Amino acid sequence: MPDKILKINDLAVEYKNKGKYLRVLEDINLELENGEILALVGESGSGKSTLGKTILRLLPDSARIAEGSIFFKGEDICNFSEKKFNDQIRGQEMAMVIQNPQNALNPVFKVGTQILDVLYFKSKKQKSRKELKKEAVKILKKVGISDPEYRFDEYPHQFSGGMKQRVMLAMAFISNPSLLIADEPTTALDLTVEAQILNLLSNLVDEYKISILYISHDLGVVAGLSDRIAVMYAGKIVEVAQTRELFDHTNHPYTEALLNCLPDYQKTKKLQTIPGQVPDPGNYPAGCNFHPRCSHSFDRCRQEEPRLEEIASNHYSACFLNGL
Ligand SMILES: Nc1ncnc2c1ncn2[C@@H]1O[C@H](COP(=O)(O)OP(=O)(O)OP(=O)(O)O)[C@@H](O)[C@H]1O
């Protein structure tokens, strides 16, 4: 099996808006090793979710892959038919957890029934739901739901946000996927529950040895979880490095600005923001997309687009400051 579970080459994605395609992702090159947790970080609107949805083919009809390829376990999955992708990849080899589990769980069915459904399809309809109930209860227990036999017969609205996210993780792991795309799974939770879910995720990763693309707007959250971090801005990856390296030797001014925005719990400095906003697709500036918000920008940044370049071992950054 190839070392890289996922290899994205020169990917560009567009959404149709008022009859015109606008580019939302451009020049995306990313690789994910087996068993690696790669965090995708950036402000709202930078294109993180679009990338996750592109990999899992969950884009709306108004979107298209304009360029590039996505190799999963050595095969270009962009060439798979919808049926092949559905039968072999989505929900089997790749699973997803999203920010709001409320939207993923069906409110009219008991939580246990929804887990049973997943187990039933995993058994290729060979086992009866009665047989599978023991397994479902075991799974609920494994993800930290106390009193699982009783909880099995409850409805999603009777579960807290953290419990619902535990259930979503349980359902995602049932098919033993090789890749999990986690799109801000803890954003709607309070800090202590968030920490519990991150711990649960780490434990599941250790046990199942899967790869994770973890989408977050918060560098603080991914610091203790990810092996590597890719920072996105306005549809492009601007910096990629091992987590420790990214924090210790931050290169791109955008990454630096994101780090400066992390809350200071000692309260020794004021809460920082990045002036301005992520530009909308179709309104990207000439040159470097970040230059209007960058305090280090100079003439070249306004004229040319910087490309990702290796600035240290396995550390890539797209900034003209590196050439000075
Ligand atoms: N269905 C859509 N049609 C048109 N444009 C879209 C659509 N979905 C997203 N976009 C645009 O694509 C850009 C990237 O959005 P995306 O949701 O991928 O960013 P994000 O980094 O995940 O942000 P958030 O954390 O807020 O979800 C944004 O400018 C957004 O407005």
pLDDT digits 0-9 by tens, 4-49: 999 999 999 999 988 899 999 999 999 999 989 999 999 999 999 9
| 271 CB-near residues (< 8 Å, 6+ apart) | 261, 263, 264
Q: For atom 16 of ligand 1, which residue has the closest CA?
A: 47
What tens digit of pLDDT does each residue of 244-284 get?
999 999 999 999 999 988 776 666 667 777 888 889 888 89
Ranked by mean pLDDT, which of 40-49, 118-127, 133-142, 170-179 comes out on top? 40-49
Q: State the distance from the centre of ligand 1 to the C-alpha of 44, rounded, in angstroms.
A: 8
Ligand 1, pocket-test mutation among 11, 14, 49, most atoms within 8 A of CB: 49
pLDDT for 158 beyond 80: yes
pLDDT for 149 beyond 60: yes
Q: Mean pLDDT across the stretch 182-198?
A: 83
CA angle in degrees (0–180, nearest 5) for 155-156-161: 145
Q: For atom 5 of ligand 1, which residue has the closest CA?
A: 15
pLDDT score, position 161: 86
Identify the CATH number of the domain defined by range 4-105+159-317: 3.40.50.300
Atom of ligand 1 at shortest range from CA of 235: 14
How many alpha carbons fall within 13 Å on the CB side of residue 42? 26
ipTM of the complex: 0.96
pLDDT score, position 138: 87
Per-residue pLDDT band at 53 (split at 50, 70, 90): very high
d(CA 320, CA 17): 32
Q: State the distance from the centre of ligand 1 to the C-alpha of 2, rounded, in angstroms.
A: 32
| Percentage of residues of the chain with pLDDT beyond 90 | 55
Q: Mean pLDDT across the stretch 67-93?
A: 92
Q: State the distance from the centre of ligand 1 to the C-alpha of 48, rounded, in angstroms.
A: 8
What average pLDDT does the chain have?
Answer: 90
Q: Mean pLDDT across the stretch 196-219?
A: 88
Instruction: Give strand ranges (E) for the chain.
Output: 4-17, 20-33, 37-41, 63-72, 75-76, 94-97, 179-183, 211-216, 228-233, 236-242, 309-312, 315-317
Ligand 1, pocket-test mutation among 46, 51, 181, 289, most atoms within 8 A of CB: 46
Element (H, E) at 301: helix 299-303
pLDDT score, position 221: 87
Ranked by mean pLDDT, which of 67-71, 82-86, 122-126, 127-131 comes out on top? 67-71
Specify the pTM. 0.91
Atom of ligand 1 at shortest range from CA of 232: 21
pLDDT score, position 266: 65
Q: Which residues line ligand 1 (CB under 6 A)?
A: 15, 17, 24, 42, 44-50, 60, 62, 217, 280-281
pLDDT score, position 265: 67
Domain ranges of the chain: 4-105+159-317
Q: For atom 1 of ligand 1, which residue has the closest CA?
A: 60
Q: State the distance from the centre of ligand 1 to the C-alpha of 284, rounded, in angstroms.
A: 14
Ligand 1, pocket-test mutation among 50, 53, 54, most atoms within 8 A of CB: 50
Query: Are 279 and 285 in contact, with CB atoms under 8 Å apart?
Result: yes
Closest CA to 308 of 243, 256, 240: 240
Atom of ligand 1 at shortest range from CA of 15: 4
Atom of ligand 1 at shortest range from CA of 278: 29
